Structures are given as structure tokens and as C-alpha cells.
Amino acid sequence: MSVVGSLKALPLFQGFTEERLEQLVATFRPVSHEAGKTLFVPGDLATHFELLVKGEVAIEESQTTRFALRPVSPLGELGALTGIPRSTTATTTTDVELLSVPVGDLLGFFDQNAEIGFAFYKNLLEVVSDKVRRDRRRLGEMRENIIRTQKAMKQMRETVLAAQETEISKPLFETLDRLIENNRRANYRVSPTPAFASHVRLDNGKLARVLELSEGHLKVEGRTKDLTNDPSYWAGVLVMPAGEILVSGTVVREAGDGVVVKLDTLVEEFKARLDDYTTQLQLLDFVV
């Protein structure tokens, strides 16, 4: 089957006539890679929209292969079309052939061919919506599993505490206690994306980029001396895409390129806004 014929079966190209697909494919150029080539890694920004037309590409996350791409299929299409940094690694497992077009050229083609562009964007919206629905369900299932695990560990801890003490009682109790603390929702951190960034406004009016955040912690770019003269107390304004909230806390350590702050308890209104923002960031992690 030809490339054009294969594309008609993909969700992104549903409803395209063969003539329109031929016009679109004509904007691409062939690119070849040998087996073992890393095409992108987490954090990379896509510059091209690519189609795999020959060979196989492994998509990996945290050094674990999630799935293998085979022809004909888009390669990292959401990252290319949204500008969101890659969240996975793509490596060729065989010699491959791609059809590639710079993102700017593709968008220019859609501007000049409105009928094709409209159909493509409509399909893209449906693909993203489907991914978001599935990822929201998966995120909900993950949260339920965390809650069940947390409850089970608490019951085990109480059982150990109530049982007759043995040599393993203390290390087992301490291990469960540590796991329960680490498993608290407040400890789960997400990293803002460039397209959905957040900052803290300091006393001097300057903005410092947020590197990671959670319900209970904030990691801000810079050094302790940039944030406060008193590490035991810091206060600022967290500036998010949907609004601002007041935050305060204690600097617990400098870590790499940033400062980790343990946040004080937020008022309910501010806590709800922060929850909304971190949830959207978690969904972006899945969508890309």
C-alpha cells in the first residue's frame, strides 16, 4: 500500500481525499536513519513533523519501552504541533525512513490551503481530546491505587504497633512510616512546561522561574540568597497562567539549579487553584 493510502487509515488524516493527501505528502522530504539512532529525548523541542514510513522506532519512558512504532505512523506528532517539550525517548530499532517537514513549513501550507488545514486541525483536536479523556481516567485510577496503598500501609503500621515486639518490629514500623510519608499527595511534584509556566514574584519585584511544585513544596530557580535573607521564613506570590496566589514557607535546601521550599498550609481558595494547575500539568505529561 502507498504512503497516501496508509495515511487515510490514521485518525489525523480522516476525511482527506486522496488528492488532498498527495498535496500534503508533497511538502515532506525523505530522511533516513540507521538502527540505534536516538531521534529525541525528554526536554527536546520538536522542529519537524515526521511520518515513519519504513522500519521501527521504540518509544521509551524512564528507560522502559512503552510501545514500538511501525509504518505508517506519525512520530511525536503532538510535541511537534503544540510546542510542548518531549516527555519520552525515541530510538530507532532498525534502519528507518521518515518523511519530514519543518513545522513552520507545514503550518504555512495549512495557511495557504485552508480546506486541508481545517480538516487536519479538526482531527488533531479529536485526537488530543481522546488522549485527555483516556489520561484523565488513567490518572484517576492511579490516584485510587495510591489511596488504597496508603490505607493498607497504615493498617499494616497499626498492626505492627499493636503486635508483640520482635527484632523486626522497629525497622518494619519505621519503613512503613517513611513510605506513608513519601506517598502523601503533597510530595508528588510536577514540572511546569514552557507553554504553561509559572513563576514566583519576589519582594524586589523580580520573577523567579518555578522548576517543580506540588501541594506541599516549591522548587524555584536560583539560590537561597536570591529568595530571602531568612531561610526560616519566605513569602512571595506564585504567578500561574490562570492567576496568582500568596505562598509562604521555609527553605529546606538548595538542590542543583534551584531552592526547595516547604510550603505553609494554604487557604482553601488558594489550595484549589494550585490543585487545578498541578492537575493540568500532570495531564500534559501524559498527553505529550
How many angstroms from the chain centroid is the CA of residue 57?
Answer: 21
Mean pLDDT of 95-116: 89
Per-residue pLDDT, 159: 92
- Whether omega for the bond prior to residue 247 falls within 30 degrees of 0, making it cis, is no
Residues sharing a CB contact under 8 Å with residue 189, sequence separation 6 or more, in sequence order: 212, 213, 214, 217, 219
Q: What is the CA radius of gyration of the chain?
A: 24
Tens of pLDDT, residue by residue over 11-43, are 888 888 888 888 888 999 999 999 999 998 888
CA atoms of 156 and 172, how far apart (whole Å): 9
Residue 226 has pLDDT above 60, yes or no: yes
Mean pLDDT of 259-288: 79
Question: Which region holds residue 241: left if phi is over 0, alpha if psi is between -120 and 50, else beta?
Answer: alpha
**Residue 162 · residue 196 · CB < 8 Å:** no
Residue 109 has pLDDT above 50, yes or no: yes
Q: Secondary structure of 106-158 in the HEC alphabet?
A: HHHHHHHCHHHHHHHHHHHHHHHHHHHHHHHHHHHHHHHHHHHHHHHHHHHHH
Q: Where are the beta strands (DSSP E) in 34-120?
A: 38-40, 48-54, 57-61, 64-69, 73-75, 89-92, 96-102
- Please check whether the two domains, 3-112 and 194-287, share a CATH topology: no
Q: How confident is the model at residue 134 (pLDDT cuts 50, 70, 90)?
A: confident
Per-residue pLDDT, 287: 43
**Residue 130 CA neighbour count, 13 Å, CB half:** 9
The dotted CATH code for 194-287 is 2.40.10.220
Per-residue pLDDT, 179: 83
Average pLDDT, the chain: 84
Tens of pLDDT, residue by residue over 56-85, are 999 887 677 778 888 888 887 777 777 777
CA atoms of 243 and 239, how far apart (whole Å): 6
CA atoms of 99 and 101, how far apart (whole Å): 7
Domain residue spans in the chain? 3-112, 135-183, 194-287
Per-residue pLDDT, 275: 84
Q: Which residues pair with 64 in a beta bridge?
A: 61
How many angstroms from the chain centroid is the CA of residue 152?
Answer: 29
Share of the chain above pLDDT 90, in %: 22
Per-residue pLDDT, 183: 67
CA atoms of 179 and 282, how far apart (whole Å): 22
For 273, list phi and psi in degrees, rounded to 5.
Answer: -65, -40
CA atoms of 11 and 167, how far apart (whole Å): 60
Residue 152 has pLDDT above 80, yes or no: yes
Cell numbers standing for residue 124: 488533531
Per-residue pLDDT, 81: 74
3-112: which CATH topology? Jelly Rolls (2.60.120)
CA atoms of 77 and 70, how far apart (whole Å): 14
